[in-house]
């Protein structure tokens, strides 16, 4: 068993143009002051991080790591959630997802995809220079508009979609393999990889690629009404990243899983700050420890009610209190009888 590293915090939801959230050194100092030991860095946010420079400059990476060490922090992972989304975009979402990319590629899906793929390759090299072993991303989606279809899907549509998704991701997975870094897809509604079945379908399409891993976030499973504890039992060998995020699901006679197009605060399923929702984190952290999860427990704050800075302040002690310092001996060792083969045969009545 392994003791999970943490607490960490994903900076994406906190970065802004306002100090101290507009520079890596100052937002890192803020996070350290709250008790965090690690930060997950959004690679697309130039206010905090220069991805292209990190991919090419060991000096730059060493300077960042050194600055963070002085503050008592480590980098948990880099994230390419926005760029990963753009690796595969159904045309219905082109206009909305253009905002995730530079203006130079807006209105040009092919160029936008090429930019996104290059971003992933840069992230593989940057992760290697930073000494990281895992990377967080999204899969993107070609088939999502057909998740609950009417009329029926054309025969073979989903198979063709996953074949194309695998074709786009396979060279990226190979680049991460060359870098020695696991590529962890966040299982998330809106992505083609949104539950266990879709992840298995993708794994088969990329020939069980060893770098195709999972970012586990139980909040998305609460909103889908999926068994998030059994998910760990099924897929623990593939889990490389862990977002600690709470959620609740309170269906009514008016709304359920789909949310009725309501704003987040009014949905039956909504994200909450840690401790304010329904997620059984005791069960999750126990399973993570039992299954030797090698990574970090990282807060991803998203809540429709509580202020983000309040959620961040509460998150570090919440995660710290749930991390299990694993035992190095059995609880009943004091009563151990010792033994050898002869004693065993005697106990069994075989002597």
Q: Whole-angstrom Cα distance, residue 249 to residue 279?
A: 10
Instruction: Please report which residue ranges of 130-227 form alpha helices under DSSP H.
Output: 157-179, 196-205, 218-224
Q: Whole-angstrom Cα distance, residue 175 to residue 301?
A: 30
CA 104, 88, 272, 314 torsion-angle sign: negative
Q: Whole-angstrom Cα distance, residue 91 to residue 104?
A: 18
Q: Whole-angstrom Cα distance, residue 6 to residue 327?
A: 18
What residue spans define the domains of the chain?
A: 5-347
Q: Whole-angstrom Cα distance, residue 263 to residue 241?
A: 29
**Predicted local confidence at residue 347, as pLDDT:** 86
In the CATH hierarchy, which top-level class contains the domain 5-347?
Answer: alpha beta
Name beta bridge partners: 74: 38
3-state secondary structure of 334: helix
**Predicted local confidence at residue 248, as pLDDT:** 98
**Predicted local confidence at residue 127, as pLDDT:** 98
- Residue 31: partners with Cβ closer than 8 Å, 6 or more residues away: 9, 11, 39, 73, 312
Burial of 71: CB neighbours in 10 Å, binned 0-12, 13-18, 19+: middle
- How would you label 114-149 residue by residue, b for 16+ Cβ within 10 Å and e otherwise? ebbbebbbbbbbbbbbbebebbbbbbbbbbbeeeee
Averages of pLDDT over runs of 10 residues in the chain (351 residues) are: 95 98 98 98 98 98 98 98 98 97 98 98 98 98 96 97 98 98 98 98 98 98 98 98 98 96 96 98 98 97 96 98 90 76 88 75
**Predicted local confidence at residue 333, as pLDDT:** 76
3-state secondary structure of 7: strand
Per the document, the length of the chain is 351
What secondary structure does DSSP assign to 228-254, as a single string?
HHHHHHHHGGGEEEEEE-EEEE---SS
Judge contact between 89 and 143, C-beta under 8 A.
Answer: no
User: Tokens 């909305």 sit at which residue?
Assistant: 96
């Amino acid at each position: 068993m392994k003791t999970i590293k943490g607490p960490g915090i994903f900076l994406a939801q906190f970065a802004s143009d306002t100090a101290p959230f507009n520079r890596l050194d100052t937002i890192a100092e803020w996070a350290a002051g709250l008790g965090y030991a690690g930060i997950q860095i959004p690679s697309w946010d130039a206010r905090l991080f220069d991805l292209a420079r990190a991919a090419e400059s060991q000096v730059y990476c060493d300077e960042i790591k050194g600055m963070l060490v002085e503050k008592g922090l480590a980098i948990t992972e880099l994230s390419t959630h926005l760029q990963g989304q753009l690796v595969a975009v159904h045309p219905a979402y082109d206009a909305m997802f253009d905002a995730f990319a530079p203006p130079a590629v807006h209105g040009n899906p092919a160029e936008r995809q090429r930019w996104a793929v290059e971003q992933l390759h840069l992230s593989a090299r940057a992760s290697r220079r930073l000494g990281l072993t895992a990377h967080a991303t999204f899969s993107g989606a070609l088939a999502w508009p057909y998740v609950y279809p009417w009329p029926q899907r054309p025969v073979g549509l989903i198979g063709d979609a996953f074949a194309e998704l695998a074709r786009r991701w396979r060279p990226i997975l190979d680049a991460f393999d060359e870098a020695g870094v696991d590529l962890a897809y966040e299982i998330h509604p809106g992505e083609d990889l949104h539950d266990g079945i879709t992840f298995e379908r993708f794994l088969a399409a990329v020939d069980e690629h060893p770098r195709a891993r999972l970012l586990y976030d139980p909040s998305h499973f609460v909103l889908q009404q999926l068994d998030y504890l059994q998910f760990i039992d099924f897929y623990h060998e593939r889990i490389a990243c862990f977002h600690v995020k709470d959620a609740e699901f309170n269906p009514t006679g008016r709304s359920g899983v789909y949310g009725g197009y309501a704003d987040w605060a009014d949905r039956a399923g909504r994200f909450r700050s840690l401790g304010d929702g329904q997620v059984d984190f005791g069960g999750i952290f126990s399973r993570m420890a039992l299954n030797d999860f090698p990574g970090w427990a990282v807060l991803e704050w998203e809540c429709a009610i509580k202020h983000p800075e309040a959620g961040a302040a509460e998150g570090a002690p919440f995660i710290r209190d749930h991390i299990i310092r694993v035992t190095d001996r059995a609880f009943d060792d004091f009563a151990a009888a010792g033994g050898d083969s002869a004693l065993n045969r005697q106990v069994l009545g075989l002597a």
